[in-house]
Chain A
Amino acid sequence: MTGGRLSRRSALGLIGAAGAVGVTGGFAAGAARDDDAEPQESVVPFHGKHQSGITTRVQQHLYFASFDMTSTATREDLKSLLADWTDAAARLTQGREVTTEGATGGGPYKPPDDTGEALGLEPNALTITFGFGPTLFAADRFGLEKKRPKELVELPSFAFELLEDRFSGGDLCIQACADDPQVAVHAIRNLSRIAFGRAQVRWTQLGYGRTSTTSKSQSTPRNLFGFKDGTANVFSNDDSDLATWVWADGSDQPWLAGGSFLVARKIQMLIESWDRVRLEEQEAIVGRDKGRGAPLSGGSEFTEPDFDVVSTAARGPAIPMDSHVRLAHPTQNGGARMLRRGYNYVEGNNDLGQLNAGLFFLAFVRSPEQFVGVQRSLAKDSLNEYIRHIGSAIFAVPGGIRAGESIGSGLF
């Protein structure tokens, strides 16, 4: 299948009259405001030096999909799939239907090209971000062995993992983020459909409620344990931090220049157990004050933790040695930082009546070692009693493109 339904020409980034939605407001970075005062860009540009959906203001909703190429897919199939996906993503992120015929213009005798559930919805800042898993570069598959970034290998095993295949791995991934869940789901659904015959969904993850922020202008959200999460994130306005910790320079693989690595971890939270933990202990486990988000060494949310402060009440370090904040902090990990874009998830209850819920952790890093090092440090984390990592995947995220170019074309 060649995906001939998509017109290459239609993806040149021109906003058609019907789909024209202006970019509203400038984005004055730096000034701290709460969410209500923040400009809600309705269209995030798809083209640029980096893919959108990384430093983009974190949207409210996520639908993430991991794909495997089909067993019969060829190198040409992969190439055409990426081209078709690029065309469709450029249209969708502008709030347009997936083809010009769309949901209603194709005549009565065929299934519509666009599935239609996003008709009438604004673009809602939809971003679509693509990544490539290590298995895509395996020998005897698509002739990409020499294009594999040397750091793109499966993550090692860590303590407190209960990984399941059904939430792990994949040849390709698509992260769709939007301020409306239907818009994100519509994007993945239509991109999955375009892939039939070439790639098949391996697993997906729906996320609601961002658990991190990429700028101080957004308030820091809370995770399902009720704590502020992402306070120490790499922020989108700090070019120096981004260059150090997020963007790949392409010295290993030129096609990765301006790209990054994406680590995805599905982290189940043992909600009922956590909810029975007394406040004092919750705060000791996390290392922060639950209400304000300040480190237990004192100050306010954005005060740097002081790990040397001793507390008489705690009869030792104010921020306990086995607390999450201490073990995860850059100063304890050779300075390593990550740009996190995690989301909460709730998927009903299990057979025992317990909540199936947790954190879908997403982090963009210049090198997977940043994640591996921190995760190893967390082996002693007292939080481990209340979480289990049940899914895991890693992807190389290629750099951004100009209009008319195709995502990942540097692979071929």
Chain B
Amino acid sequence: MNRRSRSTVLAVALAGTLALSACVKNSESSDDAIKVTSTADGCEVSAAKADSGTITFDVTNEGDKVTEFYLLDSDKLRIIGEVENIAPGTSRGLTVQAQPGDYFTECKPGMVGDGVGNAKFTVSGDDLAVDEDEQKAIDAAVASYTAYTKDQVAELVTNVDDFVAAYTSGDDDTARRLFPITRINYERIEPTAEQFGDLDPKIDYRKPGAEAENLPFTGFHRIEMDLWLDEAKTNYPDEKLSALDDTGRKELGEQLVTDIKALYDKVHSADFVLTIGDITNGSIGLLDEVAAPDGKLPGEEDEFSHTDLYDFYANVEGAKVAYDSVREIAAGKGAEGKQLVGDLDRQFAAMFALLETHGDYEQGFVSYDTVRQPQRNELGAQLNALSEPLSQLTHTVLGVSKS
């Protein structure tokens, strides 16, 4: 299972951990730099702790694939700083302004899939003064969230490979188990993926949506329909649905792998630019995905597998990461900002806590068709409680002057 998929976003202990102005310097190396050695399956860091302030990592690639190095926040999701495209045999530097807190380091040989050598990294010492220059803070937030998006898609590439491999080989049990897990990366960044209007319909359209737009029904939900065929026959009793043969499965699987690879290329291209508004609006957009009439809350997203709670949780995680990216900026906007951040911290924590009463990624979430209406109403009420303050975030970040 995907390690990062298992991790739980911590709703506390985030204050003061924002690292500002993460930047990459080429082949700059100094005696103070922390040495990082990336190999085929390891990520050795010469120190596990540092004092707050400027920290430089000097990353050397001793493996045989292009690699990356990350400094991750305590939730293991948000990227504080990263350095990409380190060719075999070369080294590059990463400099971050780090606040005290717990972080994680890891490398990613081959630049796709899960990272390796994940290790705890502790920063102690005094809090750094928050940068007065708001533009710098915004740039850092955008850099951090953009890196996060790329990382999620990179993980998605290998997770989809595994899922499709199980499906095309006829290992239905494994494919059914991997289906909701594989979707986690996608669901965390859904509004971003949906920017690519040609790809999302192929990857994530539901059957009624594809038919309404006269598109071939492909992607995750087409495979879902094949894997949970009995349920599909119940939902669409008027249609003659039959199991796909090996060729049909192969075509469907290859299509999904191709489309996900295309998504990877798009988010890793130089044209891929996100703004601070994309991030804050994307955050509320993720929750809208949950509440929509064909979304997770009504149980329409995964109408055959009933794995909607995985998607629900991942959407909220994605919204939380987007929020965390701009949290310090919002908190700096006077009393209004402080109040909003307080509300959002509390409501995100309550949302996760409520969702976790229904399971988690590791143990599995309960099948959503067993979640009765009063419990769904409770989820809906908490979703409203979170969405209302979150809808103020763009205004607070962009529309309120610092006081």
Asked if B33 is at the interface (CB within 8 A of a chain A CB), the reply is no
**Which B residues are CB-close (under 8 A) to A196?**
381, 384-385, 387-388
Binds A, one of B5-13, B85-93, B315-323, B390-398: B390-398
Q: Is the CB of B384 within 8 A of A200?
A: yes
Q: Which of B339, B347, B381, B394 is within 8 Å of A71, CB to CB? A: B381
A106 vs B399: C-alpha distance in the bound complex, in angstroms? Answer: 10
Binds B, one of A30-38, A107-115, A307-315, A395-403: A107-115
A258 vs B395: C-alpha distance in the bound complex, in angstroms? Answer: 44
Asked if B380 is at the interface (CB within 8 A of a chain A CB), the reply is yes
Q: Is the CB of B391 within 8 A of A110?
A: yes
Q: Is the CB of A70 within 8 A of B388?
A: no
User: Smallest CB–CB gap between B284 and chain A, Å?
Assistant: 9
Q: Is the CB of B381 within 8 A of A1?
A: no
Asked if B275 is at the interface (CB within 8 A of a chain A CB), the reply is no
Name B250-298 residues within 8 Å CB distance of A. none
Name A1-17 residues within 8 Å CB distance of B. 1-2, 4
User: Smallest CB–CB gap between B189 and chain A, Å?
Assistant: 22
Asked if B194 is at the interface (CB within 8 A of a chain A CB), the reply is no
Asked if A193 is at the interface (CB within 8 A of a chain B CB), the reply is yes
User: Smallest CB–CB gap between B320 and chain A, Å?
Assistant: 17
Q: Is the CB of B388 within 8 A of A193?
A: yes
Q: Is the CB of B377 within 8 A of A200?
A: yes
| Given contacts A70-B381, A72-B382, A1 and B388 within 8 Å (CB-CB) | yes
Number of residues on chain B facing chain A (CB within 8 A): 22
User: Smallest CB–CB gap between B337 and chain A, Å?
Assistant: 12
Q: Which of B381, B385, B386, B391 has the most CB of A within 10 A?
A: B381
A200 vs B239: C-alpha distance in the bound complex, in angstroms? Answer: 38
**Which A residues are CB-close (under 8 A) to B381?**
70-71, 196-197, 200
Chain A residue nearest to B377 (CB atoms) is A200
Q: Is the CB of A106 within 8 A of B384?
A: no
| Given contacts A200-B377, A200-B380, A108 and B399 within 8 Å (CB-CB) | yes
Bitwise, A167-201 to B at CB < 8 A (1) or not (0) is 00000000000000000000000000100111010
Q: Which of A68, A70, A111 is within 8 Å of B391, CB to CB? A: A111
Q: Which of B386, B395, B396 has the most CB of A within 10 A?
A: B395
A151 vs B339: C-alpha distance in the bound complex, in angstroms? Answer: 41
User: Smallest CB–CB gap between A193 and chain B, Å?
Assistant: 7
**Which B residues are CB-close (under 8 A) to A111?**
391-392
User: Smallest CB–CB gap between B313 and chain A, Å?
Assistant: 18
**Which B residues are CB-close (under 8 A) to A197?**
347, 381-382, 384-386, 388-389
Q: Is the CB of B378 within 8 A of A71?
A: yes
Bitwise, A54-97 to B at CB < 8 A (1) or not (0) is 00000000000000101110000000000000000000000000
Asked if B343 is at the interface (CB within 8 A of a chain A CB), the reply is yes
Q: Is the CB of A70 within 8 A of B378?
A: yes
Q: Is the CB of B385 within 8 A of A109?
A: no
Asked if B199 is at the interface (CB within 8 A of a chain A CB), the reply is no
Name B339-374 residues within 8 Å CB distance of A. 339, 343, 347, 350
Bitwise, A12-29 to B at CB < 8 A (1) or not (0) is 000000000000000000
A72 vs B382: C-alpha distance in the bound complex, in angstroms? Answer: 9
Q: Is the CB of A72 within 8 A of B377?
A: no
User: Smallest CB–CB gap between B69 and chain A, Å?
Assistant: 36
Q: List 24 A-B contacts (CB under 8 A).
A: A1-B347, A1-B388, A1-B389, A2-B343, A70-B378, A70-B382, A72-B382, A107-B395, A109-B394, A109-B395, A110-B391, A110-B394, A110-B399, A111-B392, A193-B388, A196-B385, A196-B388, A197-B381, A197-B382, A197-B386, A197-B388, A198-B385, A200-B377, A200-B384
- Given contact pairs A72-B350, A196-B381, a sample of 18 additional A-B residue pairs in the complex whose CB atoms are under 8 Å apart: A1-B347, A1-B385, A4-B339, A70-B378, A71-B381, A107-B395, A107-B399, A109-B394, A109-B399, A110-B392, A110-B396, A111-B391, A193-B388, A196-B384, A197-B381, A197-B389, A200-B377, A200-B384
Which residues of B are at the interface with A, using a C-beta cutoff of 8 A?
A: 339, 343, 347, 350, 377-378, 380-382, 384-389, 391-392, 394-396, 398-399
